[in-house]
Chain A
């Protein structure tokens, strides 16, 4: 299990979707990511550039015949950051459940005492 570390860069909804998609893949085609997430070319390029600048994503450009093809993959640093972010989310959920349980128990106890 990774060390928990909440990552604001990954937390943003569009970037979370991109990173989650890439986390399950070795690599994914640019058009595939765009279509699956319903983004425009420019919106996806912008988010991928942000993730690439942070060292989280690697962009690979190649040619298939005459046609250029761009694919993206998570870098080892990106994968680690994602795993740490997931661990942080799980901690938050667990903490929130514990607080909820404690609150419920306190309310139940108050109810019993109040009878």
Chain B
């Protein structure tokens, strides 16, 4: 370990422009961490495709093809859930206070419930109406909800994390170029 380098007292302070640039850099780095912690947009699309594939598998005829499609779809969902999310969390863990953390959890659980309800109710209604391929259509509806609501949840989480980062900085004004 190298020699101890203790912080020096104020004396060689930055100028106003340097301080503003330094604050902008801090906000940029906070944004960088927040961006890493959010799942990418393609994730919602991939998951939606897996849900639709599952629906197709349920409606398809022929037991061997049916079993293969359903197995692959479920496998894709398991991989997306069990590998992708821990992979994001393996790199960095965003610091969140208990209140935003609770909101974050509620938003994710709310999304799961919404997608499940839309899929199940659509399937039940279509089966009752004797519409062909009810599970495929219901899963497509659920997938569409996921593709629309997933990025909205992402945006909400981004806003939540950014608000906390600003709060940690004593309500610092937004840096130029930051959303």
A interface residue numbers (CB < 8 A to B)? 1-2, 5-11, 13, 16-17, 20-21, 23-29, 31-32, 36, 46, 49-50, 52-54, 81, 83, 86-90, 92-93, 95-97, 99-100
Interface residue ranges of B152-179 to A (CB < 8 Å): 161, 165, 168-170, 172
A9 to B4, CA, bound (A): 11
Interface residue ranges of B24-77 to A (CB < 8 Å): 25-26, 28-30, 32-34, 36
**Hey, which chain A residues are within 8 Å of B14, CB to CB?**
6, 11, 89, 92
Any chain A CB within 8 A of the CB of B130?
A: no
**Hey, which chain B residues are within 8 Å of A32, CB to CB?**
36, 91-92
Q: Number of B residues contacting the other chain (C-beta, 8 Å)? A: 41
Q: Measured between C-beta atoms, what is the minimum distance from B24 to chain A in Å?
A: 10
Q: Measured between C-beta atoms, what is the minimum distance from B19 to chain A in Å?
A: 4
**Hey, which chain B residues are within 8 Å of A13, CB to CB?**
25
Q: Measured between C-beta atoms, what is the minimum distance from A17 to chain B in Å?
A: 6
Of the candidates B16, B17, B33, B90, the one whose C-beta lies within 8 Å of that of A24 is B33
Which residue in chain B gives the minimum CB-CB distance to A27? B93
Any chain A CB within 8 A of the CB of B6?
A: yes
Per-residue contact bits, chain B 74-102, to A (CB 8 Å; 1 contact, 0 not): 00000000000000001111110000000
